[in-house]
């Protein structure tokens, strides 16, 4: 397997990249070159999904990527009337438009060898909606729709497409999101049925399973890994 993980410098993406090293060649991308180096991947490319991603797309073709993990994401907490045009554009580009473009250049090689795995890291906010994060929720809901359609389009080529929808995750981004919200961590935990945040390793292990042959019949799914948050309180 030739695996590319976006947003691999920290948080969920870094843990995914570390866990998938045993599965094949790991290629990583992110904005911080020093952090990419410390991951010690088989290769890396510095790239910001909000900028021109032409070089990243060429890299995917050159490395014959057949496992694409679209993990990189952006989040803003803001009511809709205060969301700037640049914020809206950035959220959609990083969370939906760029992942779609990366898939489009990875698929030809996957089709050629009649095997591939595409894992999108979505969010429970794309399943349920999140007040004051409507742009973020919409971008992640778009990933779920993309996943369903592509699963149908690519099924005959033995390519699976799935989305993992984490709830609150114990990462720097998750904790920053709390700081930007009007709720404390304790108040948020009280709303989670399991009374805990999801650990990045749980998402990494699910990703590892979904790219395995044991999961070849799972495609087009949005899997909620949210400590019960999507079920109710």
Query: Active site includes 136?
Result: yes
Nearest partner of 222 among 156, 110, 128, judged by Cα: 128
197 near 168, Cβ under 8 Å? yes
In the set 44, 136, 157, 209, the catalytic residue is 136
Q: Rounded to an integer, what distance in angstroms lies between the CA atom of residue 45 and that of residue 31?
A: 9
Tokens encoding 232: 């109710």
For the annotated catalytic residues, the residue numbers are 136
């Amino acid at each position: 397997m030739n695996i590319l993980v976006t947003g691999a410098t920290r948080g969920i993406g870094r843990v995914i990249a570390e866990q998938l090293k045993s599965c094949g060649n790991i290629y990583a991308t992110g904005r911080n070159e020093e952090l990419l180096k410390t991951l010690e991947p088989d290769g890396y490319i510095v790239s910001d999904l909000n900028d021109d991603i032409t070089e990243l797309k060429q890299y995917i073709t050159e490395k014959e990527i057949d496992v694409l993990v679209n993990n990189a994401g952006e989040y803003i907490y803001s009511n809709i009337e205060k969301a700037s045009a640049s914020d809206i554009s950035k959220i959609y580009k990083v969370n939906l438009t760029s992942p779609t473009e990366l898939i489009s250049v990875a698929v030809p090689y996957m089709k050629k060898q009649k095997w591939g795995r595409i894992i999108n890291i979505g969010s429970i906010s794309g399943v349920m909606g999140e007040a004051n994060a409507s742009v973020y929720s919409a971008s992640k809901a778009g990933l779920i729709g993309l996943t369903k359609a592509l699963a149908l389009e690519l099924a005959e080529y033995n390519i699976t497409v799935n989305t993992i929808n984490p709830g609150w995750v114990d990462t720097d981004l998750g904790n920053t999101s709390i700081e930007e919200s009007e709720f404390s961590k304790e108040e948020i935990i009280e709303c989670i049925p399991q009374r805990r945040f999801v650990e990045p390793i749980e998402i990494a292990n699910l990703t590892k399973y979904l790219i395995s042959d044991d999961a070849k019949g799972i495609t087009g799914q949005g899997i909620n890994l949210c400590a019960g948050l999507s079920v109710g309180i």
